[in-house]
Amino acid sequence: MAIKDPFGRAVENIRVSVTQRCNFSCIYCHREGQTPNYGVEMSAGEIERIVRLAASLGVDSVKLTGGEPLLRSDIIDITRGISSISGVKDVSMTTNGFLLTQYAEQLKEAGLSRVNVSLVSLKPERFRFITGINAHKNVIDGIIRAVEVGLNPVKANVVLLKNVNDDEVGELIDFAGSHSIVLQIIELEKFGNEIFYDQYHADLSSLEKELEGKASKIIVRRMQHRKKYILDNGAEVEVVKPMHNTEFCLHCNRIRLTSDGRLKPCLFRNDNLVDLLEPMRRGVSDEYLKNLFIEAVMRRKPYFI
Ligand code: SAM
Ligand code: SF4
């Protein structure tokens, strides 16, 4: 049984940021809500120890993220270490895909079960405008390789930006259908710059209505109450709408671990983190760390209510 927060939400999923470094500079990036601290990074052993503690409290699903997780030279060791922890049933990753052709097979072999790849546009110019790098071909090749080696599902994550890529949903659906991947359309989350958000935030309600009309089946996933639309061409489309969404927060089952070793109870808040790395490096016991983990879970509360 997974540990529950004071609002009765079971914490089953940990999102581990393994680095803040990145080779892209996406205009919309929230960096998992982490304040910059490039100097400190958990070691593979420290990450594994924290995930083992989490697993002992019922967390059975781990998502590796960043920054760009594939920039860690020990990412295969990290993946293997986490996959072998008793109680961990699912290890996945979200990546920008740039290095995925190179790593997909080793990741699969190390125990990664599935992968989400950020694919903001199929058009080279647009891709470069959004990410700051000329790499849409590498990312598409990475997605194809991930499918080939048997990572399943492979999801393309698309943060929809008003007047930038919001006219591309049809093409992305065709791409997803023809490559047997899931398309995950994500609403832009507000971080820092209000002007940026107002300029680029796309309301996904009309897209959802359109998908409802076209779908042969709609599945509501328990996690964060996400909707999945199965379309006639076989494509699967998920829509992630966190902003001002009380249902999303009500069903949130995840906690975050920053790359500098702090537990982050909520993406949108920075005033309630619990540091594990400093005590760990001081040599505290597992029992002590477990209590800190429980404290972080007890600090969780829905952001949008
Ligand atoms: N570099 C990896 C990548 O791009 O997938 C992992 C880190 S990235 C911060 C993790 C996820 O957050 C990606 O799916 C990305 O699209 C999403 N993301 C980043 N900034 C966002 C924002 N402002 N709103 C919604 N999603 C965002
Ligand atoms: Fe952020 Fe990921 Fe883009 Fe890097 S690739 S800037 S971490 S969204």
The enclosing domain of 191 has a CATH number of: 3.20.20.70
Model confidence over 84-141: pLDDT tens digits? Answer: 999 999 999 999 999 999 999 999 999 999 999 999 999 999 999 999 999 999 999 9
Percent of all residues in the chain with a pLDDT value above 90, rounded to a whole number: 87
Q: Ligand 2, residue 131: give the atom nearest the CA.
A: 3
Average pLDDT over residues 266-287: 96
Model confidence over 187-225: pLDDT tens digits? Answer: 999 987 889 999 999 999 999 999 999 999 999 877 666
Q: Structural domain tally of the chain?
A: 1
Q: Is the pLDDT of residue 78 over 80?
A: yes
How many A from CA of 216 to the centre of ligand 2?
Answer: 33
> Is the Cβ–Cβ distance between 59 and 11 less than 8 Å?
yes
How many A from CA of 142 to the centre of ligand 2?
Answer: 16
Domain range enclosing 191: 13-298
CA–CA separation, 136 and 183 (whole Å): 16
Instruction: Determine the 3-state secondary structure of 162 from DSSP.
Output: coil
DSSP-derived letter for residue 111 is: T
Q: Is residue 127 part of a domain?
A: yes
Closest to 88 in 3D by CA, of 68, 117, 67, 63: 63
The CA R_g of the chain, rounded to the nearest whole Å, is 19
Q: Is the pLDDT of residue 18 over 70?
A: yes
Mean pLDDT over the full length of the chain: 95
Q: Is residue 102 part of a domain?
A: yes
| CA 278 distance to own-chain centroid | 25
Q: Ligand 1, residue 29: give the atom nearest the CA.
A: 20
Q: Is residue 210 part of a domain?
A: yes
Q: Is the pLDDT of residue 282 over 80?
A: yes
- Helices of type H across the chain: 44-56, 75-83, 100-110, 124-131, 136-149, 169-179, 194-200, 205-214, 246-250, 277-282, 286-298
Average pLDDT over residues 263-287: 96
Does residue 242 have a cis peptide bond before it, meaning omega lies within 30 degrees of 0? no
Model confidence over 151-186: pLDDT tens digits? Answer: 999 999 999 999 999 999 999 999 999 999 999 999
Q: Is residue 253 part of a domain?
A: yes
Q: Is residue 303 part of a domain?
A: no
Q: Is residue 5 part of a domain?
A: no
pLDDT at 245: 83
Q: Is residue 3 part of a domain?
A: no
Tokens at residue 281, please?
């490096």
Q: Which of 118, 184, 188 to mutate to test the pocket of ligand 1 (most atoms within 8 A of CB)?
A: 118
Q: One-letter amino acid identity for 8?
A: G
Q: Is the pLDDT of residue 35 over 90?
A: no
